[in-house]
Structure 1
Amino acid sequence: MSERLTREYHIGEEIGRGRFGSVFRCYSRDSGEVFAVKSVDKAQLTDALDLDCAEREPKIAHIATAGNPHAVQIHAAYEDDSFIHLVMDLCDGGDLFDRIAARQGAPMGEALAASVMAAIMEALSVCHRRGVAHRDVKPDNVLFDGEGKVRLADFGSAECFGEGTLMSGLVGTPYYVAPEVVAGRDYGEKVDVWSAGVVMYIMLGGIPPFYGETVEEIFESVMRGNLRFPTRIFGGISSAAKDLMRRMICKDVSRRFSADQVLRHPWITSVGSATCVSNLK
């Protein structure tokens, strides 16, 4: 562990593990406040792109998350010869992936799904206004804090964009990645809206809209973009919810909703506003 990190924080037990490192509970030695610290093992970063993303994450995340109530805040960053350490908000209420998996394929009620979606889109709206795209929106990166509040996490794949400046590169997770990313074209922040739409589809239907046995087959399905709502699964889902998903999971980027447009959609404003996310089980 970094000497500066351990001087300022007491490192507690491991509470998570990922592809590039581990997450530990930690405590400020000054205030006693509880945080999480993500320690990224540089030895696991097998190429220059991985290392660049890890080193840029604190800077981009600070731009995107500072004062953003539905994003995990990064409070401090440390680096030594072997690790990059990020001290961030502790979200010990699990993630959306685990909560979806615990339902064993049973769909989530629309009111709860809408409240989760509202929080995700509020986080993305702030990011996009600040010129940052998350680029890896998926249930694993939607966390819950101790009060059940939704927090968008993990800005390791995030990138800055600007007026007339697009992004490039195959970044994201196959089930959730937008078709323009798969096609190798330059793209804008609406890739996050596509991914969030896929998250919404999975919450309401229990299955992804595009799937395959291999990554290649998943990408082929994404590129076809044939969005369907099987009656046996979506028969009880409202027309407003289906309308919003069509507008988010839309191959035509010019017609795809922005984050702000999603937040103004009736399904969000009327269904999601009255539900407390902490009730999500």
Structure 2
Amino acid sequence: SDVMKDYTFMQVIGQGSFGKVHKVQDKKTGAIYACKEIDYSMMKEKEKELLVHEVNTMKDLSHENIVRYVNRYLDKQTGKLYMVMEYCDNGDLARYIKRHKNERRYISEDKIWSVIYQLLSVMDYCHNRAKSGQKVIHRDMKPGNVFLTKDGSLKVGDFGLCRLLDNDDFAKTNVGTPLYMSPEILAKQSYTEKADIWSLGCVFYELTALVPPYVATNLDSLKLKVKVGTRASLPAQYSQELKRLIDSMLALTPSARPDSSVLLRNQKVSEMQDRLTPQVEQINQVPLRESLEDWNERLNKKEMELQVRQDKLQRVQTEIKKREGRTYYM
């Protein structure tokens, strides 16, 4: 069916080398979405493959911190593909960092731990989505691919470069954004999902320092800086725990970088998970019968605690009245 029949195109909210991103409105429901308009007529065969891959990957991914895929439309006459996705109404992390840099104020550590938990949760889902025996490597994690929503949550988008890896497979294509590229990709060596861990480490570093860990004017200079590993230390107000986490992710050797499941077990990350995970979700994770029993047990416990407090209160009140010389019974 025709995308123009189903959606009203409101405004262009982004522009890329192969097309635009529109803000659109569903004509039936009035819901707002983002629609990627991609001109594939000028693409080389390899680029078309990447595009088909992005669509198929987005369709398969389902996580609260990943931009939700809605629908796709193919217009063979004009050579355009339209991808309708969830609309994130609060810009991206790159803009958020830039705003803090311009205003010369650091991002609070609490906020940074919140971002860390949400992005690690996405990476863990992608890297360990091994039901099909395959893991998804994003390969282009950067602040510009992390979108903000009004409720404060984050959504990872742009899986255009991501690649499905069979377990223990090594990918060998040199893609991604240079400033966030892992040393093994910069060196054109084979790599695994640990390349994403490096890129995320760069994003977390930038949230603290407001600049990426390694900045250079050309690729050779960047490669050298990364290889030597000299980067400015993080601003003094951030905790040692945060610094240790980021340093571990920016280990030069991929095997020395912890994987997402290890990073999620970090005490601070776990604490943030407890704060951000809604009660409802926690209930949904246990079988209903078990959760009802748990709730009953919890309620009974609370009732007993309240009874004990009430008894204590009555005893105290009686004691006070006795001392005042008037025996008083409730």
Could you state the TM-score of these two structures normalised by the residue count of structure 1? 0.88
Pick closer, same or farther for the CA change 1:44–1:102 going to 2, 3 Å. farther
For residues 241 and 29 of structure 1, what CA distance do their matches in structure 2 show? 46
Does residue 177 of the first structure (1) align with residue 175 of the second (2)? no
Once residues 151 and 229 of structure 2 are traced to their aligned partners in structure 1, the CA distance between those partners, rounded to angstroms, is 37
Runs of 4+ aligned structure 1 residues displaced above 4 Å come to 271-276
Structure 2 Cα separation of the partners of residues 219 and 5 of structure 1: 44
- Once residues 193 and 260 of structure 2 are traced to their aligned partners in structure 1, the CA distance between those partners, rounded to angstroms, is 9
Q: Percent of pairs identical after alignment? A: 26
Query: Which amino acid is 1:97 matched to?
Result: A
For 2:141, the equivalent position in structure 1 comes to 137
Cα deviation per residue 1:40-68 (whole Å; 9 max; x = unaligned)?
Answer: 122564x43322212221101222x22x0
2:94 counterpart letter in structure 1: F
Which of 59, 66, 86 is the aligned partner of 1:89? Answer: 86
Partner of 1:159: 163
- Residue 66 (structure 2) pairs with residue 71 (structure 1): yes
CA distance in 1, matches of 2:237, 2:37: 44
What CA distance in whole angstroms lies between the structure 2 residues aligned with 1:57 and 1:102?
Answer: 30
1: CA distance between counterparts of 2:113 and 2:262? 14
Partner-residue secondary structure (3-state), 1:207 = coil
Task: Name the residue aligned to 1:189.
Answer: 193
Task: Indicate the larger mover: 240-249 or 29-38.
Answer: 29-38
In structure 2, which of residues 210, 217, 226 is the aligned counterpart of residue 213 of structure 1?
Answer: 217
For residues 224 and 162 of structure 1, what CA distance do their matches in structure 2 show?
32
* Cα deviation 1:212-262 (Å, max 9, x = unaligned): 121221122223333551xxx522221101110111111121121111111
Q: In the TM superposition, what is the alpha-carbon distance from 1:146 to its structure 2 partner?
A: 2.9
Provide, for residues 80-123 of structure 1, a one-character-per-residue CA deviation record: whole Å limited to 9, x for no partner. Answer: 23212110000011000001001125431111011011111111
Once residues 165 and 178 of structure 2 are traced to their aligned partners in structure 1, the CA distance between those partners, rounded to angstroms, is 22
Q: What is the DSSP-based 3-state SS (H/G/I as helix, E as strand, rest coil) of the residue aligned with 1:140? A: helix
Structure 1 residue 60 corresponds to structure 2 residue 57: yes
Deviations 1:12-35 (A, max 9, x none): 222222222111112223332221
In structure 1, the partner of 2:286 is none
Give the stretch that moved more between structures: 14-23 or 131-140.
14-23
Corresponding position of 2:13 = 15
Count of residues paired in the alignment: 268
Distance 2:207 2:242 in 1: 11
CA RMSD in angstroms comes to 2.0
| Alignment match, 1:238 | 239
* TM-score (norm: length of structure 2): 0.76
* Paired letter, 1:18: G
1:132-156, Cα deviation, whole Å (9 max, x unpaired): 1111000000001232210001000
Match of 1:279 in 2: none
Q: 2: distance between equivalents of 1:203 and 1:96? A: 9
Tell me, in whole angstroms, the C-alpha distance in 2 between the residues paired with 1:4 and 1:225. Answer: 52
The answer as to whether partners of 2:51 and 2:160 remain within 8 angstroms in 1 is yes
Counterpart residue type for residue 216 of structure 2 = G
Distance 1:269 1:8, change over 3 A: same
* 2:47 is equivalent to residue 50 of structure 1: yes
- Whose relative contact order is higher, 1 or 2, with alpha carbons under 8 Å and at least 6 apart? 1
Q: Is the counterpart of residue 149 in structure 1 residue 147 in structure 2?
A: no
* CA separation of 1:190 and 1:126: change in aligned 2, threshold 3 A: same
What is the deviation of 1:171? 1.0
Q: Which moved more, 1:179-188 or 1:75-84?
A: 75-84
Rg larger in structure:
2
**Alpha-carbon distance in 2 for matches of 1:28, 1:123:** 28
Distance 1:31 1:271, change over 3 A: closer
Counterpart Cα distance in 2 of 1:79 and 1:52: 15
